[in-house]
């Protein structure tokens, strides 16, 4: 009888998970939610990181356009010469650029951005 009871003893305790588990933030109270495999956030992560481009202005001589694209964690101004062409980054600030347009008289472009945390 002792041997029989010992054979069932390990089955009373839950087995350790075969995959690592992701634990939610301690402020969340989850009741009845099964453990979340750490593979799920990794798989979902590729769908949460996307890029978009915002049209800003045409170059006056019709040689291309300015677009605003996220580069790293901030929006930066890029120049595109042709459809489906490569972007050329024009601004390299630690903070985001809000807007930009060509100045036809000066042959340059103007941009605006806000000062953030005392940076210029």
Tell me what pLDDT residue 65 has.
92
DSSP for 4-20, please give it: HHHHHGGGGSPPPPSS-
Q: Is 30:45 a contact under the CB 8 Å cutoff?
A: no
Number of domains the chain is built from: 1
Q: What average pLDDT values come out for the chain (120 residues) when binned by 10 residues?
A: 48 58 81 84 80 87 87 88 90 90 85 71
Residue 56 lies in a domain: yes
Query: 17: which 2 tokens?
Result: 């998970």
Could you list the residue range(s) of the whole structural domain that residue 87 is in? 48-112
Residue 17 lies in a domain: no
Residue 117 lies in a domain: no
The model's pTM: 0.57
Q: Is 36:22 a contact under the CB 8 Å cutoff?
A: yes
Tell me what pLDDT residue 70 has.
86
Residue 1 lies in a domain: no
Helix (H, G, I), strand (E, B) or coil at 43: helix
């Amino acid at each position: 009888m002792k041997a029989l009871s010992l054979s069932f003893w390990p089955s009373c305790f839950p087995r350790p998970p075969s995959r690592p588990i992701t634990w939610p933030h301690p402020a969340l109270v989850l009741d009845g939610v099964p453990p979340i495999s750490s593979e799920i956030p990794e798989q979902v992560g590729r769908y949460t990181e996307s890029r978009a481009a915002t049209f800003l202005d045409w170059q006056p001589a019709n040689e291309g356009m300015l677009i605003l694209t996220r580069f790293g964690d901030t929006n930066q101004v890029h120049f595109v010469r042709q459809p489906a062409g490569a972007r050329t980054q024009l601004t390299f600030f630690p903070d985001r650029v809000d807007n930009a347009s060509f100045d036809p008289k000066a042959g340059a472009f103007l941009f605006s951005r806000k000062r953030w945390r005392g940076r210029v």
